[in-house]
Amino acid sequence: MPKKINLNLDTVENREIRLGSIISWDGKASELVELSRYEERGRDIGCSGNRSSGCRLCELNMPFNQSSMCTNSIAACQVGNLTDCVLIQHSPAGCSARNPVFNLSFREGLKRRGKKQKNINIISTNLQENDMIFGAGDKLRTAVREAYSRYEPKAIFLSMSCSTAIIGEDISSAATEMEDELGIPVIPLHCEGFRSKHWSTGFDIVQHGIVRQIANKHPKKQSDLINIVALWGTDYFTDMLKPLGLRVNYIVEIASYEDLKQISEAAATTTFCHTLGSYMATALEQEYGVPQVRAPQPYGISGTDAWLRAIAKICGKDKEVEEYITSEHERILPQIESLRKKLTGIKGYVLTGSAYAHGLISVLRELEIVVDGSLVFHHDPVYDSGSEEQNSLKTLVDTYGDIPHFTVSKTQPFQLPQLFKRTPADFVIVRHGGLAPDLARLGIPSFEMGDEHLPVGYDGIVRLGKAVLETLSKRKFNNVLRRHVSLPYTEWWMNQKDPFVFANKPDILDEDGDRTNEITAKK
């Protein structure tokens, strides 16, 4: 593996450049596996991203968008949810408007991890029109000093926004200066919303900053400590790792500064989702020799088996793990069998982030639920590790079979009527805002996956099976809605069959259809 993460730079390359990530594609999962050419990209860094036109993964070009999330929000959700560090958003106030959601997640996350609930402390520099003209470097420095005196944080993060990037604010210099002045890490995050076509670049930006400026540069090995790159999920990983004598270190959300600092001391790094965790795992492996778990994600029986074995191998627990796996199979298989009786043939659909969807589909198919369609918000043809064991879409297709309608599209609810006409579903698993309400109006019950660790491991199969059964009962509500409420789209659009018709047939925008709105306009 060529060295590719450069911690000398204070920022990362976007995913679309680094990995060749796409946000718009439609076809069979097996085709996407093939087109992604993971192995080739993993072997040769020059071939990873879009700079090399030779193996670029092509995508559909859509002239229409609906609103979604940005890298700036991701930075806030990650480092804004640390227990003893402060994030300063260098931006107008609107870039902090999502913080109430992160406050909810933070409070819930603290509860899940057994910590005292409290509010987040994110500061906005609250930039005004004058600042756009004259610059706001002084305001930023004032904010950093104020943050330090108010909260005595262990580290301060500075995040960039669209406006501060356009007017050329230099947060890197400010960070260096303030770090010298205050004697704590001050970390610049170049996460302006317009910079990447997908918000997941935000994870990389944050994790880069943490590995670069917080990870202990003189690590003292903790041979039983496993880094779990996570969000706010319930601590189900301890259930799986404690029997092997291992401890978990959850990063980034809900972590403390000390938790972040010790990432370089861990025995290994793993995650519930490669989309989220691959960058940090690779950076730690490369920089500090902390091996990353080269295995499928811990979903379904075979994924969990392989994941546990890979961890055990790194930690020298080969014997213990086999005993554990055998006893877990004995314990869990009867429970899975009884759920299968209730779930066989039910049609499910997964609408979540990329690698996470691969895991969820594995679990649903383990339960004999039919999954003929899924939509992911982006697709990385390769992860930073380049590790073939982490080729999660291939693992899914190889283990559980193809997915005939596999769609990549960044939260575009207008496509839902077409997608669900094509692939009818009894329920949908969703993880992202703005989609479930439209499904509800289409009469489809959805399970908004609020606790991302729910489907992880052997028990995750049972937990998810139960959650699906509960979700199916929500059909009552959705059917009431469907009978009385409609989606805000024209008849013309509702009658279209292809969710990507604008890309596949661009001229359709100029053709006369039932142009309801124009008719209204000319009345």
Q: How far is the CB of 414 from another protein (least distance, A)?
A: 6
* Dist CA 28 CA 373 (whole Å): 9
Q: Which residue has the tokens 């200066």?
A: 177
Q: How far is the CB of 100 from another protein (least distance, A)?
A: 3
Q: What is the DSSP string of 251-305?
A: EETT--HHHHHGGGG-SEEEES-HHHHHHHHHHHHHHH---B--S--S-HHHHHH
324 versus 492: smaller Cβ distance to another protein: 492
Q: How far is the CB of 81 from another protein (least distance, A)?
A: 15
163 versus 234: smaller Cβ distance to another protein: 163
User: Which residues are bridge partners to 189 per DSSP?
Assistant: 159
Q: How far is the CB of 493 from another protein (least distance, A)?
A: 4
136 versus 263: smaller Cβ distance to another protein: 136
- Indicate the SS3 state at residue 411: coil
The CA distances from residue 278 to 207, 228, 261, in Å, are: 10, 11, 18
164 versus 292: smaller Cβ distance to another protein: 164
193 versus 386: smaller Cβ distance to another protein: 193
Rounded to a whole number, what is the distance in angstroms from the first to the last CA of the chain?
Answer: 65
Q: How far is the CB of 54 from another protein (least distance, A)?
A: 23
131 versus 259: smaller Cβ distance to another protein: 131
Please give the backbone phi and psi of residue 493, each rounded to the nearest 5 degrees, phi first: -70, -40
* Dist CA 380 CA 317 (whole Å): 32
* Dist CA 321 CA 313 (whole Å): 9
20 CB burial (10 A radius; 0-12, 13-18, 19+) = buried
8 versus 520: smaller Cβ distance to another protein: 520
Q: How far is the CB of 514 from another protein (least distance, A)?
A: 9
* Dist CA 521 CA 523 (whole Å): 6
The contacts found for 321-328 with CB under 8 angstroms, 24 or more apart, are 321/244, 324/243, 324/244, 328/458
* Dist CA 251 CA 82 (whole Å): 9
Q: How far is the CB of 436 from another protein (least distance, A)?
A: 9
42 versus 417: smaller Cβ distance to another protein: 417
Angle among Cα 258, 262, 267 to the nearest 5 degrees reads 150
Q: How far is the CB of 37 from another protein (least distance, A)?
A: 25
